[in-house]
Structure 1
Amino acid sequence: MKINLDDKAVGWFKKELDIPDNKAIRFYVRYGGDVNLKQGFSPAFTVDTVDPEGYSETQDGLTYYVDEKDLWYYEDNVLNVTCENDEIKYTITN
């Protein structure tokens, strides 16, 4: 699995969420939504403390991650996170 954030998305997260130094963006799996990689589920995000057992990356000072318990959703796919019209958008590729 891999998560790609474009520069606009990184800027949006930093500006809109004012993330404290000890926190990061956690991508998790929620029931419902528009992106259906696995039927009935889609990605979402929140601000939380990093889970050292999952997947994490840092880009331009912004850390983002997926908890180990949510890795099943992404498996061998890439989550692309973009910002369009001041709104976060997700696409999934293989």
Structure 2
Amino acid sequence: MKIALDEKAVEWFKKELDFPENKALRFYVRYGGDVNLKQGFSPAFTVDTVDPEGYSETQSGLTYYVDEKDLWYYEDHILNVTCKNDEIEYSISNNIES
């Protein structure tokens, strides 16, 4: 799995969300929504404390991660996160090597 943020998305998150010390951007799985990687579920985000047991990356000073309990949703895929017209958009790429 991989989460790929473009630079516009990174800047949007940093501008729009408050990241106190020891906090990061957490992607999680929610019921419903528009992106149907797994039927009936879609990605969402919040600001939270990093889970050392999951997936995490840092890009341009922004740390983002997925808790271990949500890895099932993203496995074997790339979640592409972009910002267009001041809104966050998701798309899915397949065939990632684990």
**TM-score of Structure 1 vs Structure 2, range by shorter chain:** over 0.9
- Aligned match of 1:38: 38
Identity over aligned pairs, percent: 86
- Aligned match of 1:62: 62
- Aligned match of 1:25: 25
Gaps of 5+ in 1: none
- Aligned match of 2:78: 78
Cα distance in 1, alignment partners of residues 24 and 71 from structure 2 = 17
- Aligned match of 1:5: 5
TM-score of the superposed pair, with normalisation by structure 2 = 0.94
Count of matched residue positions in the alignment of Structure 1 and Structure 2: 94
Task: Give the partner amino acid of 1:40.
Answer: G
Deviations 1:30-73 (A, max 9, x none): 00000000000000000000000000000000000000000000
Deviation of the 1:20 alpha carbon = 1.2
- Aligned match of 2:92: 92
Gaps of 5+ in 2: none
- Aligned match of 1:16: 16
Deviation of the 1:21 alpha carbon = 2.3
Cα distance in 2, alignment partners of residues 33 and 12 from structure 1 = 21
Task: Give the partner amino acid of 1:69.
Answer: K
Cα distance in 1, alignment partners of residues 20 and 71 from structure 2 = 25
